Amino acid sequence: MSQTFTAMVIDDADGKPLAGFRDISLADLPDNDVLVEISHSSLNYKDGLAITGKGRIARRLPMVAGIDLAGTVVESRSPAWKPGDRVLANGWGMSETEWGAYSRFQRLKPQWLMRLPEAFSMEQAMAIGTAGYTAALCVDALEAWGTIRPGEGDILVTGAAGGVGSTAVALLSSKGYAVTASTGRSETHDYLRGLGASAFLDRAELASEVRPLQKERWSGAVDSVGSTTLANVLAQTVYGGAVAACGLAGGHDLPGTVMPHILRSVALIGVDSVHAPMPKREKAWRTLAQHLDTAKLAAMTEVHPMRDLPELASRIVAGAIRGRVVIEIG
Ligand SMILES: NC(=O)c1ccc[n+]([C@@H]2O[C@H](COP(=O)([O-])OP(=O)(O)OC[C@H]3O[C@@H](n4cnc5c(N)ncnc54)[C@H](OP(=O)(O)O)[C@@H]3O)[C@@H](O)[C@H]2O)c1
């Protein structure tokens, strides 16, 4: 086993977080029960914020960044896992309070790990990554609410060319829903059509002043943008419809009114991936295994070595990444 290995570490530089590559050893890792050799991780919006320092993600320093991983168990003090098991993990505070995935080895708590679904290689699991798993949590949440049906009405996906958005478009369309993709990048229309979008909405149309009740357009929606966009989506959702909100790429405020909720019974369903309980995670990964077309997954994915992280982080924070980015660790 390598004595030292490279990790992306956020350090304290005069009271400010500063990300950089650093050699660490097994002795530096936290004393958790399962040692995993990480094969792949991915780039998510939160990773972009952590690495660029544009968001205060790490709540203690030094911190190994990276919020998701796929890898192989090397040692385990837990009866739940044994050497050779192929596992994945999303969230659980990695990169915030717990050392994360941009490191060849990491020691993790046994309850954070899931068995890698047989449908996916490690690279594919991280092509899905936290963004894709969150998209599946959103789709599951809308279906559990019970008011959307394939073939009945339109489902809107905002931030459609991003990671959550691309996976949501692909999943919903293969489940038979008519998907409208809202994007600010018209050059991604062919790409989004390839993932299954059947109509498009310029994101500028959702960025204007919010009138409390607008023409009813969407049976349901997956929103990763927040702010004015989410408020307008709620105001355009049909009577009894539901919106699953998971993101803040456009801002964390919500400048709307209660009118869609109290006059049209519109539901706003909040979706968190970081501390989602294990049964919800397992359901989301089952949804992905059953309904995500791996050819579409390949079309939305680029693969990069870990050394590209600083440049990729700037690009995702600028909204300039299309689809998903896998990071090769091993
Ligand atoms: N709740 C959770 O547990 C959870 C989990 C994963 C992600 N998230 C959140 O979900 C969001 C998306 O994550 P991601 O990984 O998909 O990021 P991403 O790949 O960067 O996608 C975000 C997309 O949002 C759109 N966008 C960016 N800036 C915008 C702005 N100022 N106004 C309107 N639209 C804008 C862009 O889509 P177009 O180019 O198509 O317009 C962009 O591609 C982030 O806020 C992330 O933190 C939350």
Tens of pLDDT along 244-302? 999 999 999 999 999 999 999 999 999 999 999 999 999 999 999 999 999 999 999 99
Q: Above 80 in pLDDT, residue 1?
A: no
Would you call 149 helix, strand, or coil by DSSP?
strand
Three-state DSSP state, 284: helix
Mean pLDDT of 289-318: 97
Going by CA atoms, what residue is nearest to atom 24 of ligand 1? 159
How confident is the model over 36-68, as pLDDT tens digits?
A: 999 999 999 999 999 999 988 999 999 999 999
Task: Give the integer Cα–Cα distance in Å for 330 and 317.
Answer: 25
Residue range 93-119, pLDDT digits in tens: 999 999 999 999 999 999 999 999 999
Q: 118-142 pLDDT, tens per residue?
A: 999 999 999 999 999 999 999 999 9
Residue minimizing CA distance to atom 31 of ligand 1: 250
CA 313 – ligand 1 centroid, Å: 13
Residue 282 C-alpha to ligand 1 middle, in angstroms? 23
First to last CA, the chain: 12
Q: Which amino acid is at 327?
A: I
When pLDDT is averaged across residues 209-225 and rounded to a whole number, the result is 97
Q: What percent of the chain has pLDDT over 90?
A: 97
DSSP state of 50: H
HSE (side-chain half, CA atoms, 13 Å) at 213 = 11
* pLDDT recorded at residue 2: 55
Residues 276, 296: Cα–Cα separation, whole Å: 26
Ranges assigned E (strand) in the chain: 4-13, 16-25, 34-43, 63-64, 68-76, 86-90, 105-108, 114-115, 154-157, 178-183, 199-202, 218-223, 237-245, 267-270, 301-305, 324-328
Q: Give residue 194 CA to ligand 1 midpoint distance, Å.
A: 20
Residue in 257, 266, 214, 218 with CA at minimum distance from that of residue 235: 214
Query: Whole-prediction pTM value?
Result: 0.97
Handedness of CA 130, 287, 328, 319 (dihedral sign): negative
Please tell me the distance between residue 286's alpha carbon and the centre of ligand 1 in angstroms. Answer: 23
Q: Which residues does a 6 A CB cutoff place in the pocket of ligand 1?
A: 44-46, 130-131, 134, 159-165, 183-185, 203, 224-225, 229, 246-250, 271-274, 316, 319, 321
* pLDDT computed for residue 164 by the predictor: 98
Q: pLDDT tens for residues 157-190? A: 999 999 999 999 999 999 999 999 999 999 999 9
Q: How far apart are CA 75 and CA 229, in angstroms?
A: 46
Distance 28 CA to ligand 1 centre (A): 33
SS3 of 24, please?
A: strand
